[in-house]
Amino acid sequence: MDSRSWPFAAALVAASAVATAATAAPEAGDIQIKAMATMVDVDGGITSVTRDRIPLPAGANTKADTAYVPTVVAEYFVTPNLSVETYCCVSRHDVTGTGSVKGARLIENAEVIPATVTLKYHFPLENGVKPYVGAGGTYFIFFGEGLGAGARGLGATSADLSNELGFVLQAGVDIPLKDMPFGLSVDVKQYFVDTTARFNAGAVNVLQSKHKLDPLVVSAGLAWRF
């Protein structure tokens, strides 16, 4: 199994491993709010180069670093087993060279808002444990990206990452806690989205490359339903 996809299975297995007291099942019209701690593991590798006036050294590639951020989730139950979810977070990433440019800092402090909406189906189990799966769309909005010293050394003076549409798959589990007004929640999202990086020297575009992002987003935290 791919090491980046194991949390999908872990989130579902957790549902059968936890024993809890019975709790009221969600009803149509219920709202659930979650406060989560989230890991955002981004690929960042180059998939194609459409312009290269630098030129890049042979074997050059890139990798984005992993971010850890707080997230807030809002979920509306259309039926007891069907819900619509969106969540709010901003993650910050640096992009570093690999291969022949290993260690070169190319982009610094690129911030992204992954505007995401998913439709989820919840599987009702005994004791109120509810594993779920979902799918939806996303729009990645980038801002604040700065030029790293490695890119300046290659002759660039500014950098920009394109906003892009993408797709997301989701799996997780909500676990009620006995005599508590909240429960536990574990969630995994696998995104499928790219971006185009543009490096400029003054007004001239000297390097343009497409990058695979495909972040794996793993969250755990507390959930309140009302």
* In a domain? residue 41: yes
Percentage of the chain surpassing pLDDT 90? 80
* In a domain? residue 106: yes
How many independent structural domains does the chain possess? 1
* In a domain? residue 54: yes
The terminus-to-terminus CA distance of the chain in angstroms comes to 38
* In a domain? residue 67: yes
Full domain range(s) for residue 161: 6-225
* In a domain? residue 177: yes
**Residue 80: CA atoms inside 13 Å, Cβ hemisphere, count?**
9
Report for 56-60, 121-125, 190-194: range of highest mean pLDDT: 190-194
* In a domain? residue 1: no
CATH number at residue 172: 2.40.160.20
* In a domain? residue 57: yes
Angle, CA of 203, 204 and 207, to the nearest 5°: 135
* In a domain? residue 21: yes
- Looking at residue 23, its pLDDT comes to 52
Confidence class of residue 8 from pLDDT cuts 50, 70 and 90? very low
Predicted TM-score (pTM) above 0.75: yes
